[in-house]
Amino acid sequence: MTRLLIAFFLLFTLGNAGPTTSELAKDINLAGKQRMLIQRMSKEALMVALHVNEQEAKKDLKKDMELFSRTLQGLLQGDKELGLVPVEDQKIKEAISDLQKRWAPFKQALEKVIDGNFDKKTIEYIKKNNLDLLKRMNAIVEMYVALNKGAKIKRAQAINLAGKERMLSQKIAKDVLLVQYGYKDQAPILREDKKLFARILHGLQKGDKKLGLEETKLPWINKELHKAQKMWQEYEKLAVPKKLSKEKLRALVQKSNLLLSQMDKITKMYEKSINREKRARALSQLVSSFEKQEQEAKHIINLAGKQRMLTQRMSKLALMDALNIDKQKTQKLLKNSYQLYDKTLRGFLVGDKELQLPPAKNEVIKKEIAKVQEVWKPFKKSVEQVLASQGKDPNALAYIIADNEELLKRSNDLVQTFKKEYATHNFLEDARKEIVDIAGRQRMLTQKMTKEKMLVTLGIDPQTNWKKMVTTVELFDTSLKRLMYGDKKHYIIKPTNPKLVAQYKKVASLWQELKPLYLKKKNSPKELNRIIQKNPILLKEMDKAVKLSEVVLEY
Amino acid sequence: MRIVVTLVLLVGLAFGATKKKEDEIYLVKITPDIPYVYVDHKGVKVKVMRIQDTNHLLTDDYSKTSRPCPPFCIHPIKVDKRVKTVATVEVVKFMRDKVNSGKGIIIDARLPKWYYAETIPSAINVPFTFLESNPSKEKIVAFFKLLGAKEKNGKLDFSNAKELLIFCNGVWCDQSPRLIRNLIKYGYPADKILYYRNGMQGWKLLGLTTVVEKGNFIKNSQTK
């Protein structure tokens, strides 16, 4: 159910958060293309005026005017065919509406050129006003790029500036044509435009901090940028503020169009690369959300396993306290252990940020937790009494001794419920959970056998506790062998990771020293002391092995 | 005319010199005409080439010859009769022609820890577990859409879906076969899936570049 919710959440967030990354990329591209159209229309009007490919220029001019009007409207109200979504940002809306008003008289001037009903004043109007339109269109593009701050498109500025190159390719041709028409004051503007074109092209390839461009690292785009560089070198030679022959002007116009197509191709590639980046990100988000669930399951099973150990540790420490062994330290450890058990158990039910536990939603798990709580409440009270009486409350100690096994049993039932409820039905995950469970149980067994040894030493039901201890020792022994040498039945493969093998060897060597001491009927005080001293080390090393087996890349 | 001929000769010589230089630089090429390819790995340009040290030997996990079988048994050449099995050269060409043009995706089917520890450049991670344990319809649809399928009249249209090249650890690894079988089971067209059976072990055995990901940092195995 949680997985389903996450999938829905992902779908929702990926699909409905304002303009999506790809929609925004499209808006930036098409708004940017409008800048180019302003310049291309001006260029085409001048071609008509100068009789350079006149008929073709008229046809193109008409098409460009229609496209410009449609895109402007599309940016404002959306256009499915063009892939545009209606703009939501109020400032952009106002700026586009304002531009639409200014576009109307400019359009009329262009229509006059198409109809052949123009004079020098018309050209003068176009020369003067195309730059104003361009400036305003550019401001709109910048506003779209600024929207990207929330969308985090890495290459938004690249789309913008690669798009701007389309405009510049046309503006440069227009500048040259204006010079031909007699506007000599256009020469410095032409120089500036050429400089800017070259700088952006270089910036797209190698990066330009001031322009906000990162080096393009995508080989397929670099290849096209390299082609554009070559085209630019040829075009640049023709784009000079000199009187040019009709033939050269035709070549200039042709090269400007080729460069425009190339820059358009590059802009679209940037736009596509964003979509690809977006897809890869969404895929990894989708996958990792499910992976997180798996990790969470392993973490919960590990903590539940640790609870088993704590039940035995508390019992062992309560006995040590009664025996006045390291009184202060023992009491402190006992307090820490019972607080941790309590916190973890509560965490299983209501969640715990510090322990990274989510609240339980599964009814079966909730019921199992309630069963543990039933036994834990009186047990907890007894531990508190042991602590308050400095180990002098025989009833509390007796309760702990008598009921710790029931608490252990219920804690273990909870581990098995978690394992069952988080079942994955695949070999690797099952194997991992099995290993984490067995290795985790080993930690508990280290505590249990020490507790039982102490009960025997104290003469508390010595025969039963001796039997129990022998069983615990045997279980620890066989489990360690299963972890070290593998167990096909339980999907455990013999570990080969050197770190893990070394850690198990360390545990085995400690165990080799301790095992005969546990199994000795009567121990000297020195031997008992060694058990008490070495037992926490065995626990610590076993804990290291559990953690390693959780993270090591064994399969 | 003489000038033109001289120029052509000079360009020819220069090209020859560059070619020769490249041949000298790349003693160990991928194929006679492919010394390396560039590919994008999460926004980072990666040069995929072979280790140039002809004395280099594998020393890591992938030098291991034997693992317990079962479960790590040698897999047959075919995972499904409709799925094409490819070798290492085809993977390099897939990178160059399909991944770089956005038509294909390389998928690492291993568990994430393995993927982040080391993978083939440009690969994305889709652990084989992702489509196991009865995935919900929503999950499958979301996943297939990200692979380029489109929803039309309540059905998925795979005509523009990406070509997938899937790998895991090697010939003894059943993770990619499992992912492939599940992809087909849930409707992904088998003819759009390629199985790179040699996997990581085969890739590494030829000294090809790998990438390691740590947080936001991507390390190329062939750069120091």
- Percentage of residues in chain A with pLDDT exceeding 90? 36
User: Do the domain assignments include residue A301?
Assistant: no
Q: Say if residue B5's pLDDT is above 70.
A: no
Beta bridge partners of A352: A357
Same domain, yes or no, for B21 and B112?
no
Give the structural domain span for B78.
36-220
Domain count, chain B: 2
What integer pLDDT is reported at residue A424 of this predicted model? 56
Mean pLDDT of A119-128: 90
Residue A9: pLDDT band with limits 50, 70, 90: very low
CB-based contact B142 A7, cutoff 8 Å: yes
Q: A5 CB contacts (<8 Å, ≥6 apart)?
A: none
Residue A427: pLDDT band with limits 50, 70, 90: low
Give the structural domain span for A227.
18-285
User: In a mutagenesis test of the B interface, which of A12, A20, A21, A218 is the best target, namely the one with the most B β-carbons within 10 Å?
Assistant: A218
- Helix (H/G/I), strand (E/B), else coil: B64: coil
Same domain, yes or no, for B63 and B22?
no
pLDDT digits (tens, 9 = 90+) for A244-273: 898 999 999 999 999 999 998 998 888 777
Residue A459: pLDDT band with limits 50, 70, 90: confident
Same domain, yes or no, for B22 and B133?
no
Same domain, yes or no, for B173 and B127?
yes
CATH number at residue B64: 3.40.250.10
Q: Which of A484, A549, A6, A554 is nearest to A298 (CA)?
A: A549
User: Do the domain assignments include residue A93?
Assistant: yes
Q: Which of A331, A329, A342, A332 is nearest to A380 (CA)?
A: A342
pLDDT digits (tens, 9 = 90+) for B80-93: 999 999 999 999 99
B186 contact A CB<8A = no
What integer pLDDT is reported at residue A505 of this predicted model? 93
Query: Taking a C-beta distance cutoff of 8 angstroms, is the pair B52, B27 a contact?
Result: yes
Chain A residues within 8 A of B218 when measuring between CB atoms: none
User: Do the domain assignments include residue A126?
Assistant: yes
Query: Taking a C-beta distance cutoff of 8 angstroms, is the pair B136, A7 a contact?
Result: yes
Same domain, yes or no, for B12 and B108?
no
Q: Find, in chain B, the residue whose alpha carbon is nearest to that of A427.
A: B71
Q: Which of A367, A400, A372, A365 is nearest to A386 (CA)?
A: A400
Same domain, yes or no, for B8 and B89?
no
Q: Which of A325, A369, A270, A342 is nearest to A529 (CA)?
A: A325
User: Do the domain assignments include residue A422?
Assistant: no
Alpha-carbon distances of B189 from B2, B90, B107, B175, rounded to whole Å: 60, 20, 16, 19
pLDDT digits (tens, 9 = 90+) for A22-36: 556 667 777 777 888
A486 contact B CB<8A = yes
Mean pLDDT of A380-397: 85
Least confident of A286-300, A457-471, B9-23: B9-23
Q: How many CB atoms lie within 10 A of CB B7?
A: 10
Least confident of A64-68, A163-167, A433-437, B210-214: A433-437
Q: Find, in chain B, the residue whose alpha carbon is nearest to that of A486.
A: B68
Dihedrals φ, ψ of A551, to 5°? -105, -20
Mean pLDDT over each residue of chain A, to the nearest integer: 84
Q: Of the candidates A258, A285, A312, which is a domain's last residue?
A: A285
CB-based contact A287 B142, cutoff 8 Å: no
Mean pLDDT of A224-250: 92
Domain count, chain A: 2
What integer pLDDT is reported at residue A513 of this predicted model? 92
Q: Of the candidates A265, A285, A305, which is a domain's last residue?
A: A285
Residue B183: pLDDT band with limits 50, 70, 90: very high
Work out the minimum CA distance from A150 to partner chain B, whole angstroms.
19
A501 contact B CB<8A = no
Alpha-carbon distances of A173 from A106, A249, A319, rounded to whole Å: 19, 9, 94
A553 contact B CB<8A = yes
Dihedrals φ, ψ of A196, to 5°? -65, -40
Same domain, yes or no, for B29 and B41?
no
Q: Residues 44 to 63 of B: which have CB under 8 A from any A CB?
A: 44-45, 61
Mean pLDDT of B162-176: 95
Q: How far is CA A539 from the centre of its chain?
A: 36
Q: Of the candidates A241, A262, A285, which is a domain's last residue?
A: A285
H or E segment and range at residue A505: helix A498-519
Give one DSSP letter per residue of A177-219, joined into a string: HHHHHT-TTHHHHHHHHHHHHHHHHHHHHH-BTTTTBPPP--H
Q: Say if residue A291's pLDDT is above 80.
A: no
**Cα(A253)–Cα(A470) distance, rounded to whole angstroms?**
96
Chain A residues within 8 A of B123 when measuring between CB atoms: none
CB-based contact A425 B127, cutoff 8 Å: no
pLDDT digits (tens, 9 = 90+) for B104-156: 999 999 988 889 889 999 999 999 888 886 777 888 888 998 899 998 888 89
Same domain, yes or no, for B123 and B70?
yes
Whether residue A86 is preceded by a cis peptide bond, meaning omega within 30 degrees of 0, is: no
**Cα(A176)–Cα(A515) distance, rounded to whole angstroms?**
95
Query: Taking a C-beta distance cutoff of 8 angstroms, is the pair A174, A253 a contact?
Result: no
H-state helical runs in B43-148: 88-94, 112-117, 137-146
Query: Taking a C-beta distance cutoff of 8 angstroms, is the pair A100, A112 a contact?
Result: no
Q: Which two tokens stand for residue B14?
A: 């220069």
B181, HSE (Cβ side, Cα atoms, 13 Å): 11
Q: Say if residue B33's pLDDT is above 60.
A: yes
Same domain, yes or no, for B9 and B42?
no
